Chain A
């Protein structure tokens, strides 16, 4: 069975600082994809970043980057130069080629302090 675990229910970061959100996953499949989604108070789910498991290079999108440790099954999200607009729930998700389903973690609420 596929599982995704986010062990930090809540995190805080000072504006302009860097924060790392943790995610671990478990799957027996070799072909899978990992995602981070952001859910601001407006409720919409927004894709932040995507990583293919077969790629060793960590994905980056502007101020967002991941630390993908395949052997450890870890997929953390680093947010640099945090902005007030980054405040949101962040969800980690895993999708395998076997089931095609997204399995989401329980989310981490990020607070950005001015």
Chain B
């Protein structure tokens, strides 16, 4: 059973389009996250939600909008895609919103903007 699953695994699209990435966790965790990993493998947090409430919102363009319909799901919608959005996006979850909690990651979604 996949603990944290993201769809799609690959997303190729044109500049200016709008796309969504879905994430679901079946671990019963309270907290979920979105990370961006750039071409140099640098991994940076974008958002975190705890029980559907936004906790962390890093300096991310407004074109990125996370949505958490329930605590098992955290989706990421991106408007007006730009070349610089090309990256691997990882969803993760942790049992609670505490620093010591290990995070469980999905397999990532590779977004390529043409």
Complex contact A97–B107 (CB within 8 A): no
- Tell me the complex Cα distance, A37–B108, Å: 15
Across the two chains, which residue of chain B brings its CB closest to A54?
Answer: B100
- Which of A44, A47, A106 contacts B102, CB < 8 Å? A47
The binding surface of chain A is classed by DSSP as strand
List residues 35-68 of chain A with CB under 8 A from any CB of chain B.
35, 37, 39, 42-47, 50, 52
Total interface residues on B, CB under 8 Å, equals 24
Min Cβ gap B71→A in Å is: 16
Which A residues have a C-beta under 8 Å from some C-beta of B?
31-33, 35, 37, 39, 42-47, 50, 52, 89, 91, 95-97, 99-102, 104, 106-107
Which B residues have a C-beta under 8 Å from some C-beta of A?
40-45, 48, 55-56, 88, 90, 92, 97-100, 102-108, 110
Q: Top 6 A-B pairs ranked by shortest CB distance?
A: A45-B105, A95-B99, A104-B43, A33-B100, A97-B99, A43-B108
